[in-house]
Amino acid sequence: MAKSVKPIQILGVILLGGVVQVLLGVLDQGSHRDSPGKAVIEFAKAYYQKDPAMSARICSDQLREEGMVAVDDYRQLAVVEARARGIGFRNLTYLAYHLKAETEYISDTEARVRLTGKRRTSINRIYPAIAILFDIGKTYPIDKTFPVIKEGDRWKVCDNLSVLFREV
């Protein structure tokens, strides 16, 4: 009789794990809603990685005025700078982490988000994790306030790109 108890216990644990996964999935639905803080954090992560995906979180007015040209120029300047210094493009990218967003709503479609956190050089995908773990390399603080507007159903950063791109 003792031999049949173990398979039942294992099956019970597996079923309980499945139920917990379903409950966590249902409870997590609220985190997929867009918010000003989420928009700024997504933008900041892409911005510091010099990822062109940042343009998805830039308001259409800024994209029309300065356009993808500004985003592409920002990336191209980094490539040129990296070559001039004799290093790779990845050496000029940063990992943004411990990001916290404090939102001040101005209206239903406007907000101001203060982003705080840290950034660290991201030579490759493993380097930031190792640097954080062993506390090596320099950490740069992030403390910036972004104006954010709602366009359609998405919040977007509406900061002056030419000033923003000169900062890093």
- Domain ranges, ordered by start, for the chain: 34-166
Residue 119: strand pairing partners: 96, 140
Computed over every residue of the chain, the mean pLDDT equals: 82
- What CA–CA distances, in Å, run from 121 to 24, 31, 125, 145, 158? 34, 29, 10, 22, 26
Predicted confidence at residue 41, as pLDDT, reads: 93
User: Do 89 and 79 meet the contact criterion of CB atoms below 8 Å apart?
Assistant: yes
Give the containing element (helix H, strand E) for 141: strand 139-151
**Average pLDDT along the chain, 168 residues, taken 10 residues at a time:** 73 89 74 84 90 85 65 81 82 86 93 92 74 81 92 86 64
Write the CATH number of the domain with boundaries 34-166.
Answer: 3.10.450.100
| Strand ranges, E, within 54-109 | 94-105
What is the length of the chain?
A: 168
Residue with tokens 């956190």: 117
pTM for this predicted structure: 0.72
User: Do 109 and 121 meet the contact criterion of CB atoms below 8 Å apart?
Assistant: no
Predicted confidence at residue 67, as pLDDT, reads: 52
Predicted confidence at residue 14, as pLDDT, reads: 92
Predicted confidence at residue 60, as pLDDT, reads: 81
Predicted confidence at residue 145, as pLDDT, reads: 92
Closest alpha carbon to 35 in 138, 111, 120, 87: 111
CA distance linking residue 144 with residue 131, whole number of Å: 24
